[in-house]
């Protein structure tokens, strides 16, 4: 029996139903359960970071309290992260969010309230914390390959400075963690970087974008000259 058929033939008798399905399937799953109309459910959650609890409105109409409950953590095959200390965004009906916060606390996480209107912006931020950060790390490997290092060497050799940067960021904040040619205003070194990276245009594009972002947000010298150099 497939999952769709099971929904229509199985009576759901549970205090809590937690939908862990792809975002595009949440509303469909809720609608299917509501249409089946069998059993009793008091609370329903979904775990999307981008979508609000309105995806569960078909069950709400049946008197089920609904919430979105999103842990700010990455889950991939072969990895089993702890939820200890993990922030969890909670949004929805009061009754459902009270239950969600209690479950998060029991799992060791730290819940916080997020309004429905801020979910898309929240998830954009969350995307920077892992998948886009991972894309940066792959770009870092590409840059190392240009220096005739292997990808394995790049991963191993980058970890100490990455670890120290994260420690500095956590303890000192970004303004006191910046180092390198931008904070020194070293146009000659950056010009060399841009020249050698012409052979790796995708890496160069990321380098330029991040350098311009650094000039906007972090301490730097010779900002006008550096912007001109980076935009040429």
Q: Kindly report the CATH number assigned to the domain that includes residue 81.
A: 3.40.50.720
> 105 with 173, same domain?
no
User: Pick from 89, 104, 129: which residue ends a domain?
Assistant: 129
> 74 with 8, same domain?
yes
> 11 with 26, same domain?
yes
| Tokens encoding 192 | 């060399």
Helix or strand holding residue 9 (H, E):
helix 3-9
> 114 with 136, same domain?
no
Counting Cα atoms < 13 Å in the Cβ hemisphere of 220 gives: 20
The Cα 47–Cα 88 span in angstroms is 10
pTM, rounded to two decimals: 0.88
> 80 with 105, same domain?
yes
Secondary structure letter of residue 63 according to DSSP: T
User: Pick from 105, 129, 153: which residue ends a domain?
Assistant: 129
State the residue range of the domain holding 187.
Answer: 131-231
> 47 with 118, same domain?
yes
> 119 with 165, same domain?
no
- Write phi, then psi, for 70 (nearest 5 degrees): -120, 110
pLDDT tens for residues 180-205?
999 999 999 999 999 999 999 999 99
> 160 with 205, same domain?
yes
Amino acid 138: pLDDT: 97
Amino acid 176: pLDDT: 97
pLDDT tens for residues 127-144?
999 999 999 999 999 999
Check whether 224 has a pLDDT greater than 60.
Answer: yes
Residue partners of 56: CB distance under 8 A and separation at least 6: 19, 26, 27, 30, 44, 46, 64, 66, 92
> 91 with 152, same domain?
no
């Amino acid at each position: 029996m497939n999952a769709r058929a099971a929904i229509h033939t199985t009576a759901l008798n549970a205090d809590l139903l937690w939908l862990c399905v792809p975002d595009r399937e949440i509303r469909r799953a809720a609608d299917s359960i509501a249409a089946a109309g069998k059993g009793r459910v008091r609370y329903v959650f979904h775990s999307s970071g981008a979508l609000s609890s309105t995806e569960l409105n078909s069950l709400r109409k049946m008197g089920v309290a609904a919430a979105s409950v999103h842990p700010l953590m990455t889950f991939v095959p072969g990895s089993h992260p702890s939820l200890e200390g993990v922030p969890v965004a909670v949004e929805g009906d009061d009754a459902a969010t009270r239950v969600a916060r209690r479950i998060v606390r029991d799992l060791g996480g730290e819940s916080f309230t997020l309004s429905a209107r801020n979910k898309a912006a929240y998830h954009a931020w969350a995307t920077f914390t892992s998948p886009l950060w991972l894309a940066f790390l792959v770009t870092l490997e590409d840059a190392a390959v240009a220096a005739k290092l292997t990808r394995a060497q790049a991963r191993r050799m980058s970890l100490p400075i990455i670890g120290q940067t994260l420690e500095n960021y956590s303890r000192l904040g970004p303004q006191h963690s910046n180092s390198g040619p931008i904070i020194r205003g070293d146009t000659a070194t950056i010009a060399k970087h841009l020249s050698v990276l012409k052979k790796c245009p995708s890496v160069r594009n990321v380098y330029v974008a991040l350098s311009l972002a650094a000039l906007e947000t972090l301490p730097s010298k010779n900002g006008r000259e550096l912007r001109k150099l980076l935009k040429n």
